[in-house]
Structure 1
Amino acid sequence: MQIGTVIGNVWATRKEDHLKGLKFLIVQPESPQGSAIDFAYIAVDRIGAGVGDKVMVTRGSAAANMTSDLRLPIDALIIGIVDSIDVERGDDFAKGTRDD
């Protein structure tokens, strides 16, 4: 999973049939301290996130398998809206540079 902030919306009037009714948002991935760590990407949202919300995103096959009956052609899915983040380990852990 990854933390990020929703920075925009994507509207697509024509798309794959199985994607109809899904909302697409642009997510900027971030470190726990809030600094950008990678390029922004598009994620499917089914929980009602909006621009400015900090979100948790799952990517890859976990996102594509969001329904038990159909594998969707997506690679990022918003799975939660973050209320707060509390990092209690050292700064290296928060930056993603720990050795263990």
Structure 2
Amino acid sequence: MIIGLVVGNVVSTVKHSLYRGKKLLLVQPYGSSQKPKGNTMVAVDTVGAGIGEMVLVAAEGRAASEILDVPRGPVRSIIVGIIDAIQTDEE
């Protein structure tokens, strides 16, 4: 799993049937230093996250498929939690 910041919505009128009725969000991954790390990704939202919220993303296809109950579904990333706080030894 990774931590990320929701930076946008993805709107698609033509899409795979699995995505119908699902909210797609653009997520910027963050590293352990709580700074942006890597490229943005599209993730299926299952928790009602919004722009500006830190989220927990399962970024493996198998986890996403199991959560959506679609074996071998065309999903790689899925938002599974909204983060309230992050505490590290540095604080």
The verdict on a shared fold, with TM-score over 0.5 as the criterion, is: yes
What is the CA distance between 1:64 and its match in structure 2? 2.2
Given that 1:32 and 1:85 are in contact with CA atoms closer than 8 Å, whether structure 2 keeps it comes out as: no
Matched residue SS, 2:80: strand
Aligned length: 88
Q: What does residue 84 of structure 1 align with?
A: 85
Aligned to 1:44: 44
Mean Cα displacement is larger for which, 49-58 or 25-34?
Answer: 25-34
Mapped to 2, the partners of 1:11 and 1:65 lie a distance apart of 24
The alpha-carbon deviation at position 33 of structure 1 amounts to 3.2
Q: Among the aligned pairs, what percent are the same residue?
A: 36
Provide the alpha-carbon RMSD of the alignment: 1.3
Tell me the amino acid that sits aligned with residue 42 of structure 2. I
Displacement of 1:57: 0.2
Tell me the TM-score normalized by structure 1: 0.81
- 1:33-78 superposed Cα distances (whole Å, 9 cap, x missing partner): 321111111000021000000000001111122233x222110000
Equivalence for 1:23: 23
Q: Deviations over 1:1-47 (max 9, x none)?
A: 10010000100111111210000000000023321111111000021
2:65 corresponds to: 64
Counterpart of 1:5, as a letter, is: L
- The runs of at least 4 consecutive aligned structure 1 residues that moved more than 3 Å come to none
Task: Give 3-state SS (helix, strand or coil) of 2:18's partner.
Answer: helix
Q: Which runs of 5+ in 1 are unaligned?
A: 91-100
